[in-house]
Amino acid sequence: MTSRRTVTVLTTALVLSGLAAGPASAHGSMSDPVSRVSACYAEGPEAPRSAACRAAVAASGAQAFYDWNAVNIAAAAGQHRRLIPDGRLCSAGNDKYRGLDLARADWPASSMKPGPHTFRYRGTAPHRGSFALYVTKDGYDPTKPLKWSDLEETPFATVTDPGMENGDYVFRGTVPKKSGRHLIYSIWQRSDSPEAFYTCSDVVFGQEAGDAPAPGASAPGAPAPSASAPTDEQVEAGEDRSSVEHGGHGDGDAATGAEATTAGTGATAAGAGAAAPARPATTAPAQEPASGAATPDAPAPAAGSGSGAELAETGGDATAPYLAVGGAAVLALGAAVLFGTARRRRARG
């Protein structure tokens, strides 16, 4: 009876501790074109300059913007459309970031042109995974809450395991022809975890952001403010105020074994068991987007799929954390049985 109780207690404790564990420190946000959360952080969470960022801070509080690199869903596993309701795409359905969902046409924006573009995504804790970028359809109205149906059906750029340059994931994509104000929505689905990250980047086609009027802006004729990404100094200065781990700006995450990737190859920069450099000394060409279209509500990958072509097929296995817990529980069970058997033998002796 005692050995049975021991098995039950040990197994239950291990399983519960595994389920309660938080996500690993994988964080980041789009820096070109600049995401809303990054733009507002760069303006200063305590006193942002733009009216849209001031409204967002009033709605969410300053802490959400010190945590600019953590707009995520820990157990997304490719089920983005199912998990994130219409009107809450920019916050990923996370109430902490509700200010990012404000429907207004004066968000700080980046200038954008159709054709080839080099995208940059600040990765403060790099991991393997895939990026998918969507743009809003013609007729998009920024003064209305953003819905999934506002996005083009398929991403215009997808890439798996892009390389890193100076703390940014860097990859190229071809931007479709658009005009006026639009929004680019990014999904970064990790392949070493079910965790995913999301960004909304406001863009203006056909003119320089900051020079042209923002249609529907609160002040008629007011220019659309230009968005700026946080500098290295701003990122480092805000780390003490952040409630999420930054992971060393380009270092691999020791908790998961992920390493910085070599730009343009999709391969790890360090060999097995070697430490990856925090900042690559050389700059390699950016990786071209992978072929194939990903859908935002694609199913979670099957174990061992590893195609790497689509967002939901990045080679990750959403069951991995639970398999690890299960393995630990089996080991604990075996130890408890041996312990109980030994006690019974001593009692009989």
- How do residues 37-83 score in pLDDT, each as one tens digit? 999 999 999 999 999 999 999 999 999 999 999 999 999 999 999 99
Q: What is the pLDDT of residue 299?
A: 41
Half-sphere exposure of 291 (CA within 13 A, CB side): 0
C-alpha dihedral sign at 216, 217, 220, 223: negative
User: Does 286 score more than 60 pLDDT?
Assistant: no
Q: What is the pLDDT of residue 344?
A: 53
Measured between alpha carbons, how far is 101 from 112 in angstroms, rounded to an integer? 21
Q: What is the pLDDT of residue 243?
A: 81
Tell me how far CA of residue 200 lies from CA of 4, 51, 91, 106, 319, in angstroms: 53, 17, 9, 14, 29
Q: Who wins on pLDDT, 256 or 171?
A: 171
Q: Given pLDDT bands bounded at 50, 70 and 90, which one contains residue 3?
A: very low
What pTM value is reported for the model?
Answer: 0.66
Measured between alpha carbons, how far is 91 from 200 in angstroms, rounded to an integer? 9
* Other beta carbons within 10 Å of 334: 11
pLDDT tens sequence across 113-171: 999 999 999 998 878 999 999 999 999 999 999 999 999 999 999 999 999 999 999 99
* Other beta carbons within 10 Å of 158: 22
Q: Given pLDDT bands bounded at 50, 70 and 90, which one contains residue 207?
A: low
